[in-house]
Amino acid sequence: MYSDKVMDHFANPRNVGVIPDADGVGQVGNPVCGDMMTFYIKVRDGRLADVKFQTFGCGAAIAVSSMVSEMAKGKTLDEAMAITNDLVAEELGGLPKNKMHCSNLGADALHEAIKDYRAKKAGAAAKPVPAADLHASEGCACPYCETALEDEEQTFCKACRIELEECPACGGITKKGEAACLHCGRPLGGKA
């Protein structure tokens, strides 16, 4: 399901952490899937001297964050802004269709950190972009059949006819009534 590179970046994520005096901070999330990413950047001479991240989400989200941080380090701001979800997925050796949204989140979080930096340099505060606006066109996929879910509040997959619920621990979507969350493995209190 996952490439060796994805598994390596998940098991050994690079650049995890916070830059306390970051020049720019970008945060994005997708409440349907439960993935939340925050990127911190340090800029020197127009280049990303340091990039760190914190991610709450699935293994693919962690691997994407790690890869984005590696791809961005040392790049100019414009070069880093050119990092796309397709480039991230390609660098990771591909992602399953239902996890491609993670690559969007990683690139978006980095871009938001750069926008924050540029806004601070211009003397303005960057306006956070709501997650719904960032991912309105992409949506999320059912974790069981990979069919796109129409909206963030959808609790039933029309394709595979599975009722869905949100895990209270990680926010990931899973089959209603399962004993444990598909994403984090924590007990859901339901009966399978």
- Tens-place pLDDT, residues 97-144: 665 555 567 888 999 999 999 999 887 654 554 444 433 334 466 665
Strands (E), the chain: 24-30, 35-44, 47-56, 140-141, 148-149, 164-166, 173-175
Torsion on CA atoms 137, 30, 57, 143, rounded to nearest 10: -50
Lowest pLDDT segment from 5-14, 48-57, 60-69, 122-131: 122-131
Report whether pLDDT(190) > 60: no
- Residues recognised as catalytic: 33, 102
Compute the average pLDDT of residues 168-180.
Answer: 72
Lowest pLDDT segment from 119-123, 167-171, 172-176: 167-171
* Paired residues of 163 in beta bridges: 156
Q: Which domains does the chain have, with CATH numbers?
A: 4-134 (3.90.1010.10), 142-192 (no CATH)
Provide the CB-side half-sphere exposure for 5 (13 A, CA): 14
Q: Among 80, 85, 87, 86, which residue's Cα sits nearest to residue 117?
A: 80
Query: SS3 for 87?
Result: helix
**pTM: predicted TM-score of the whole model, two decimal places:** 0.64
pLDDT at residue 146, rounded to an integer: 56
Torsion on CA atoms 98, 34, 94, 86, rounded to nearest 10: 100
Q: What angle do CA 145, 32, 167 make, to 5 degrees?
A: 90
pLDDT tens, position by position, 75-102: 999 999 999 888 888 888 876 666 555 5
